[in-house]
Amino acid sequence: MEKSRVLVVGATGYLGKRLVKASLANGHPTFVLLRPEIGADIEKIQLLLSFKEQGAKLVEASFSDHQSLVDAVKQVDVVICAISCVHTRSHHILLQLNLVKAIKEAGNIKRFLPSEFGTDPSRMRHAIEPGRVTFDDKMVIRKAIEEARVPFTYVTANCFAGYFVGGLCQPLKIIPSRDHVLLLGHANVKAIYADEDDIANYTIKAADDPRMVNKTLHIRPPENILSQTDLVQAWEELIGKQLAKTTISEEDFLTKLRSMGYAEQAGLGHYYHVCYEGCLTNFELGDNEEEATQLYPEVNYVRAKDYLKRYL
């Protein structure tokens, strides 16, 4: 069976570069959007050139140039967007409206995977402000996709391991301490963690899978459904010592959150929903939803406890 041609938008980002790698590794003719807005950002240019050396084709187009987007998507079968949704870095979710318009006009795209990859926005209508804007904007994109009748797959990957496992679920920390840890509430709420390379691999598999047309893929590795306490204990076993522990209550967390700037509030509000509310594990999958490890059991996903070993 011939592999679909895949266009990755946002390929120089945290997840985007992994999507390019996974697409190439899975044998897809891989195209990468080169946006003129990159300008003289030498690191991004060098990264794009490295993709070219690995066999990807660079396609120049801009979100502000509709015809260039149409011309780009006409060259492929699948479009995967990974532009940033993180307020502490950049927040460009609604730019995808231009991409949806181009895909609709081109008329040849078999599947569009918009930039999601986190918490399922359809289950976050109750999210606290200002972080709720992330989920609201993603739902705007979903509505546009479905109204345009573009075939889609939504991917919810829950918690990126680099942010949550590396920091032992502590906001603004991405390397585990060997001395102290801040516990969020009782630290017994289960969350779901996924290695970023695994997320990319599952995404590429779903993009070409007829079982995933107009469905949501939930990445829920069963051995990575863990509480903060579970992660802390795994780290303590690896380093051979107990960490000093302090606790921040739900009320104190929210009070501290309100004292932060807009971007920090938007980003860290997600920790509240994940670690206090348990928004990732308080529901069962419904119609038109599939779980990645069950669909693709051949993927030997990285266990969170093994992920921690890189910090030794």
List pLDDT tens digits, range 44-102: 999 999 999 999 999 999 999 999 999 999 999 999 999 986 655 556 899 999 999 99
Q: What is the pLDDT of residue 90?
A: 58
**Cα Rg for the chain, rounded, in angstroms?**
20
Q: What is the pLDDT of residue 10?
A: 95
**Residues of the chain with pLDDT > 90: what percent?**
91
**Residues of the chain with pLDDT > 70: what percent?**
98
Q: Six-digit token pair at 71?
A: 């011309």
Residue 26 — very low, low, confident or very high, per pLDDT cuts 50/70/90? very high
Residue 281 — very low, low, confident or very high, per pLDDT cuts 50/70/90? very high
Contact at 8 Å (CB) between 266 and 131? Answer: yes
pLDDT at 125 over 60: yes
Residue 266 — very low, low, confident or very high, per pLDDT cuts 50/70/90? confident
Residue 2 — very low, low, confident or very high, per pLDDT cuts 50/70/90? confident
Q: What is the pLDDT of residue 70?
A: 98
Contact at 8 Å (CB) between 31 and 10? Answer: no
pLDDT at 310 over 80: yes
Half-sphere exposure in the Cβ direction for 92 (13 Å, CA): 15
Average pLDDT, the chain: 95
**Residues catalogued as catalytic:** 138
Q: What is the pLDDT of residue 87?
A: 53
Helix pair angle (16-25, 196-207), 10° resolution: 60
Give the residue-averaged pLDDT of 207-230: 98
What is the residue whose two structure tokens read 């992920």?
307
Give the residue-averaged pLDDT of 162-190: 97
3-class secondary structure per residue, the chain: CCCCCEEEECCCCCCHHHHHHHHHHCCCCEEEEECHHHCCCHHHHHHHHHHHHCCCEEEECCCCCHHHHHHHHCCCCEEEECCCEECCCEECHHHHHHHHHHHHHHCCCCEEECCCCCCCHHHCCCCCCCCHHHHHHHHHHHHHHHHCCCCEEEEECCEEHHHHCCCCCCCCCCCCCCCEEEEECCCCCEEEEECHHHHHHHHHHHHCCHHHCCEEEECCCHHHEEEHHHHHHHHHHHHCCCCEEEEECHHHHHHHHHCCCHHHHHHHHHHHHHHHHCCCCCCCCCCCEEEHHHHCCCCCCCCHHHHHHHHC
Cis peptide before 130 (omega within 30 of 0): yes
